[in-house]
Amino acid sequence: MKISIIGTGYVGLVTGACFAEIGHSVTCLDIDSTRIRKLNNASIPFYEPGLERILKKSLEKNQIKFTTNYSLACKNPDAIFVCVGTPSYKSGKPNLKFIKNVIKSLALAINSETVIFLKSTVPVGTTASMERLFKKYLKSKLDIAFASNPEFLKEGSAVNDFKSPDRIIVGTKSKKVQEISKNIFHAFNHQRSRILFTSIESSELIKYAANSFLATKISFMNEIARLADSTSANIDDVRKGMGADPRIGSAFLYSGLGYGGSCFPKDIDGLISSFKDKNLHPSILEAVKTVNSSQHKLYLKKIYDAFSKAKLKNMSIHIWGTSFKPETDDIRDSISIKLIRSLSKDVKKIFIYDPIALKNTKNELIDLQNLVFLRDKYTNIKQSNFLILATEWKEFWDPDIKKLQSLKSKTVIDGRNILNRKHLESSGINYLCIAR
Ligand code: UGA
């Protein structure tokens, strides 16, 4: 089928590349001409495992092309997927300006029947209002359908998530659009159909509710961890015991520094603002947000309890991991970045290491003077007093204990509960964490 994708961020690019790989003829559009030029040479603006390989393959086969030209993207596509960002206003409300611009541009360029799927995360009612906006600008009487198709891929495993979806949600009541959707997603429904057709509004809400529920699981565990920490309960055992109940499930029960990234914080804010728009009070969501925004402060408190502010002033420290989670170079709303900003005021120097995200980190923290970025995680470890592990990259799970023993204060703060406590402590290392 002929498919156009508008927006070449994480969602758009992964969608386009995966559709091209299964044989659809894909045109990806973005208004950023530098990005498009690079993409035509298979140069991807972010790190996502597996994406470059399938993109190169599809470019070689001429299965995918990149353009800034709406006339090209609107040349008889069977479907158009809108995948542009919905950043938040200060109030938390999603800013729909990029989607509105896309809808106007599509209305002015489209000259054949097609279906427009909104993949961007949008508040309930947005797809319907975009359809109204579209009709205002459309000059012809063409029958253009609108549908909602939220995306559930996770950064770091986006390609696999797209190719092996748990579910494909399509918000539409139109039988014709349902048939087109089945054809588009045919290759991902081999063993069983994963498509769930709902109303447009339910589809829009499923995305917000799913992300907010996952964030709720994390904040719930982080709250339980606070009680466990002030008793002798072990949060790892509590997690295993709870997760063994299939009604609870074992995923997303890991307590630590809290959640970050470009989705959970933004989507919680977006959902809260939708409640407020309807004069409803989102008690649970507010609590999820409060727990998450205070979680890293518990770790800071452990540090200030262990070392006085006066002593910290003369200390250097190591921080491992700046991306919001492993297998990505994305540092948006990363808790590690929050920690660095906060500690940079109180310590002499921070040595920072991340396997992939250093370039983005340097750009983000350009205003801080006392940071040193490392190519190797152990460089200058002897000059540091303690180490904070902030992101659970695989290469941090089994550190070289001898090297950690050379930390001046022999202290390791594990922000992700992944290190072997017994092993570290029996090697004379002071291990700080929450609730283990
Ligand atoms: C999230 C959802 O998981 C995807 O389904 C969704 O499509 C995506 O948002 C989106 O809206 O586009 P993502 O932001 O890539 O995906 O990251 P997650 O893997 O969900 O992790 C989010 C944060 O939660 C990370 O900071 C992670 O470290 C933290 N986390 C996760 C925990 O603290 N504990 C856990 O048990 C799990």
Ligand 1 atom having least distance to the Cα of 11: 12
Pocket test for ligand 1, best of 121, 207, 242, 263 (most atoms within 8 A of CB): 263
Dist. CA 207 → ligand 1 center (Å): 13
Instruction: Supply the residue whose CA is at minimum distance from atom 3 of ligand 1.
Output: 154
**pLDDT tens digits, the chain, 436 residues: what are they?**
999 999 999 999 999 999 999 999 999 999 999 999 999 999 999 999 999 999 999 999 999 999 999 999 999 999 999 999 999 999 999 999 999 999 999 999 999 999 999 999 999 999 999 999 999 999 999 999 999 999 999 999 999 999 999 999 999 999 999 999 999 999 998 888 899 999 999 999 999 999 999 999 999 999 999 999 999 999 999 999 999 999 999 999 999 999 999 999 999 999 999 999 999 999 999 999 999 999 999 999 999 999 999 999 999 999 999 999 999 999 999 999 999 999 999 999 999 999 999 999 999 999 999 999 999 999 999 999 999 999 999 999 999 999 999 999 999 999 999 999 999 999 999 999 999 8
> Bridge partners of 80?
4, 116
Q: Which residues are catalytic?
A: 263
**What are the CA-CA distances from residue 25 to residues 21, 22, 163, 191, 315 (Å)?**
9, 9, 17, 24, 57
Ligand 1 atom having least distance to the Cα of 391: 28
For 369, the token pair is 């003077």
**CA angle at 132 for the pair 126 and 135, rounded to the nearest 5°:** 140
Q: Read off φ and ψ for residue 319, nearest 5 degrees.
A: -125, 125
Q: Read off φ and ψ for residue 417, nearest 5 degrees.
A: 55, 45
**Cα 42 to the center of its chain, rounded Å:** 22
- Residue list, ligand 1 pocket, CB within 6 Å: 121, 151-155, 211, 214, 218, 252-254, 256, 258-261, 263-264, 324-325
Closest CA relative to residue 416, chosen from 312, 311, 318, 335: 335
Secondary structure (3-state) at 31: coil
Assessment of whether the complete model's pTM goes beyond 0.85? yes
Closest CA relative to residue 347, chosen from 405, 411, 403, 400: 411
Round to whole Å and give the CA distance between 79 and 117: 7
Instruction: Supply the residue whose CA is at minimum distance from atom 10 of ligand 1.
Output: 263
3 state SS for 319-383: EECCCCCCCCCCCCCCHHHHHHHHHHCCCCEEEEECCCCHHHHHHHCCCCCCEEECCCCCCCHHH
